[in-house]
Structure 1
Amino acid sequence: MSAAEPPGDGTRQLLVVIDPVARRSDGESVRIAKDVLSAGSHAKICLPQDHDEFSRALSRRGNRRPVVVGDDRALLRAVATLHRERELADGVLSLVPVGPAAGLSVAYALGVPSSTVAAARTALDGTAHRLDLLVDDSDGVVLGDLRIPARAAVPGTASGHPGVTAVWDTCRSLVRTLVRPAPPEIPPAPATAGYRLRVEADGALLTDLDRQVESVHLTTRSSGGVMDVVIRTPDGPPVTVGAKQVTVSGADFRYRADIQIGGPVRTRTWTVREGAWALMLPAALPARGPDG
């Protein structure tokens, strides 16, 4: 499942890509990461100014092993870039986490050390663990956790930006109030309002459009080529299965893939790619279950 990289002797070739958000949010941690990585390797330091430069730097890495200094979004950007170029399986990624803890939940769940020094040393002398990846039918990637929550759990996600819908609703309400008397208040939808979805796992029907779904949760198991699928409904125990492929369809729905909001879509299929990428980690991976 994994293979250790030889101990460092200063001859390793690294491409250290420092996310611009990390430089702005915690310059001291970035400096420490650079010092540790440069002391243990022949490191080329790259300071991209935006997302496009970040992706171009990875694409031009040559034989250098990429080390990303940044948060979950930087790691996801790196994985997505290499996946699009069909080069994800050919190398090993490292992450030195820099940023608020709330923006590093994916990295920590995967087993990346939280300490800057420990993570940088792991990038140099850790173990390359091959991990599973969820890939959808639009070529999007999910590193570990995907949820289709009840409608009330994804508030205001118009155009993929939380809060936009709420702002527009407020503006429309204000305009209506100015031009005519406000109509009686309409009670808000219950917090448990869900979807009517059809969910299939490896061709087997788990739930259909005649039942309401409160949430669908897909989680990779790190390795083994199987994802855990948990479906919660208002009127029964959760449905829990393991599957290699899941298709969800129904009325327009949104989903949260790792830390990003996707949709609305009417149908989407996620497939496990076993051992699709490799991440430098300490020797032992964290235990992960169906509920993340």
Structure 2
Amino acid sequence: MNPRLVITNAAAGSTDVPSIEAALAVLRDDGPVRLEETADGADLDRVLDGRRDDETVVAIGGDGSLHALVSALYVRGELGRVPIGLIPLGTGNDLARTIGLSVEPDEAARQLVDAVRTEIDLIVDDEGKVTVNAVHVGLGAHAGRQASWWKRRLGPIGYAVGAIQAGLTAPGLHLRIYVDQERLPHSHGVMMVAMGNGAYVGAGAHLSPGADPGDGWADVMVSYADSPVARLGYALGLRRGEHALREDVKTSRARELAVQGDEFWVNSDGEVSGPYRAKSWTVVPGAVAMMLPDPRHARNSAT
């Protein structure tokens, strides 16, 4: 018996009833399922208050739904003790790609049935706010603001349109950047600063192709693309995962990142906040207990 508390998030758009029902049918064949719909943080807290000790909490939705669940458990002091499952639904699903989950809800539910408990890392900022997948300053946040308009009209391709538009219009920033407390030598013309726990952003852009959310580190990327041509090249390279090959892009792996200087916006798991003049983030290794596909099964199926 594998009891599960399944949570949908109406505010995040996880209302594809046929897909949800297909996933639930798979889970019900494996054990008891309680389905709860939430509309806001208060709803989510109410549902978590009623969680039974033996239940895995399963979020049905995209990166935003998982972010909301992880954030709520973190604030409640329950993160790491409560096992979390994810059934991707919606337009983002970037972390799902990194951790090997199918973006087809019924197939993701089958993966969840055979999943093993796996600890993944978390990024926490200086205000105690969490990032599960990736956080961006500069172009990343500007693209998120642009994409929110385009996404409503074009669906997933809106992310790409927003990224390209941002690449042409976002201003370069003067920022002091500290990676594991060491200041980077260049501070002018900063186009984007990113800290990736997962490999993808914006519905599949390869921001941090080598990122592993279970290795205790985050991938840090800084772009100094400070001309319209360079910005367009960077934005297009980001979609193909080739931006790190550019001379105006610097990459590293770190556990701490701090940014100070010009006023900037922050995009954390697709949610934009700000403006700020100073912000810092720290990796908390193994903070999230996820139910993920067994890598041994992946190896066996590939042979």
Per-residue CA deviations over 1:183-226 (Å, capped at 9, x if unaligned) read xxxxxx973621100111111111465x2211112112312221
Question: Is 1:222 the counterpart of 2:213 in the alignment?
Answer: yes
Aligned to 1:143: 132
Letter in 2 for 1:213: V
Structure 1 gaps of 5+ residues are 1-10, 164-188, 286-292
- Structure-2-length-normalised TM-score: 0.72
Q: Distance in 2 between matches of 1:150 and 1:50?
A: 28
Aligned with residue 132 of structure 1, among 117, 121, 124: 121
Equivalent-residue separation in structure 1 for 2:65 and 2:52 (angstroms): 20
Who wins on radius of gyration, i.e. which is larger? 1
SS at match of 1:212: coil
Q: Is the Cα contact below 8 Å between 1:152 and 1:193 reproduced in 2?
A: no
Describe the shift of the 1:89–1:263 C-alpha distance in structure 2 as closer, same or farther (beyond 3 A): same
Pick the aligned partner of 1:15 from 1, 5, 9.
Answer: 5
Q: Which protein is richer in helix relative to its size?
A: 2
Could you tell me which amino acid in structure 1 is paired with residue 259 of structure 2?
V
Moved over 4 A (4+): 21-24, 154-157
The normalised TM-score by structure 1 is 0.74
Match of 2:27 among 37, 47, 58: 37
3-state SS in 2 of match to 1:25: coil
Alpha-carbon distance in 2 for matches of 1:198, 1:23: 37
Deviation at 1:73, TM superposition (A): 1.5
Q: Give the aligned length.
A: 244
- 1:1-292 equivalences in 2 (<5 Å): 11-20=1-10, 25-63=15-53, 64-99=55-90, 102-150=91-139, 153-154=142-143, 191=169, 193-207=171-185, 209=187, 211-220=188-197, 221-234=212-225, 237-284=248-295
Q: Are the counterparts in 2 of residues 20 and 49 from structure 1 also a CA contact under 8 Å? A: yes
**Does the residue aligned with 2:80 lie in a helix, a strand or coil?**
helix
Name the CA shift for 1:22/1:250 in 2 (closer, same or farther; >3 Å): closer
For 2:216, give the aligned amino acid: G
What's the offset of the Cα at 1:267?
0.8
State the Cα distance separating 1:15 from its structure 2 match: 1.0
Q: Would the alpha carbon gap of residues 14 and 65 (structure 1) be closer, same or farther in structure 2, given more than 3 Å must change? A: same
Q: What's the CA shift for 1:156?
A: 5.9
Matched residue type, 1:115: E
Structure 2 residues not aligned, in runs of 5+ = 150-166, 198-211, 227-246, 297-303
For 1:110 and 1:222, locate their aligned partners in 2 and report how far apart those are by CA, in whole Å: 8
Looking at structure 2, the residues matched to 119 and 134 of structure 1 have their Cα atoms a distance apart, in angstroms, of: 25
Contact 2:144–2:267 (8 Å) recurs in 1: no
2:300 maps to which residue?
A: none
Displacement of 1:113 in angstroms is 1.4
Deviation at 1:144, TM superposition (A): 2.1
* Shift in alpha-carbon separation, 1:156–1:30, aligned structure 2, 3 A: closer
CA-based RMSD of the aligned residues comes to 2.7
Say if 1:106 and 1:258, in contact at 8 Å, map to a contact too: no
Contact in 1 for aligned 2:180/2:257 (Cα 8 Å): yes
CA distance in 1, matches of 2:25, 2:86: 15
Identical-residue share of aligned pairs (%):
27
